[in-house]
Amino acid sequence: MKKIILLLTILFNCMSCAAQKSKIINEPKSVIKSGSKKGSKEKAEMNSGFEIGDLAPDFTLNNENGIAETLSKYRGKYVLIYFYPKDDTPGCTAEACSIRDNINNFKQFEVKVFGLSADDETSHKKFIAKYNLPFSLLADTKKEVAKLYGADGIFIKRISFLIDKEGKFAKLYPNVNPSQHAGEILADLASLTQ
């Protein structure tokens, strides 16, 4: 019975994320004043405490092949870190496939893409093979990076961070629509690189 409830919760989590309207925090740090309603609401929604312009915390996690990936290794490039609840579930698959289908557009902006969930390397490898995903999935099995980035919970939350070439947050995405997220990020990249 517990397994059925767990599976239903995962399914609901991924499907409900797909129905949420996407919202991006686009205000620079200097505009969000402590105590202001807008800044407080955005921080509460993101639950990370991060703001645009903050330095992204460094981390190292293994990818699907057991190779350690360190965020700071990619300074000089944009990095997309997208957190998602579970491999091979409806919303998570829609999000991964949307990014996959737009990977050439991400490459034009020299973006390194990492998906993160609490699934292990073996699960990630199967997910990548099943859907031909051309980017790495990082195994945060202890949810340490998810906690660091405010994405932890019973299931990892579906949130994303676009990190600029200097290692600072360029965009924060507290509410992600899995099927539209890739387009949203690419539009932001276009405006950031003009």
More confident residue, 39 or 180: 180
pLDDT of residue 16: 35
Q: Please state, for a pLDDT cut of 90, what percent of the chain lies above it.
A: 73
pLDDT band for position 30 (50/70/90)? very low
As a whole number, mean pLDDT of residues 180-191 equals 95
Q: Domain containing 88 — which CATH number? A: 3.40.30.10
pLDDT of residue 49: 86
Which of the residues are catalytic? 92
For residue 2, pLDDT beyond 70: no
pLDDT band for position 46 (50/70/90)? low
pTM of this structure: 0.76
Q: What is the DSSP string of the chain?
A: -HHHHHHHHHHHHHHHHHHSPPEEE--BTTTS-TT-HHHHHHHHHH-S---BTPBPPP-EEE-TTS-EEEGGGGTTSEEEEEE-S-TTSHHHHHHHHHHHHTHHHHHHTTEEEEEEES--HHHHHHHHHHHT--SEEEE-TT-HHHHHTT--SSS----EEEE-TTSBEEEEEEE--TTTHHHHHHHHHHHHT-
Count structural domains, the chain.
1
From 105, 117, 85, select the one nearest 184 (Cα to Cα). 105
pLDDT of residue 48: 66
> What is the span of the domain harbouring residue 102?
2-192
Q: Please state, for a pLDDT cut of 70, what percent of the chain lies above it.
A: 75
pLDDT digits (tens, 9 = 90+) for 77-117: 999 999 999 999 999 999 999 999 999 999 999 999 999 99
More confident residue, 3 or 52: 52
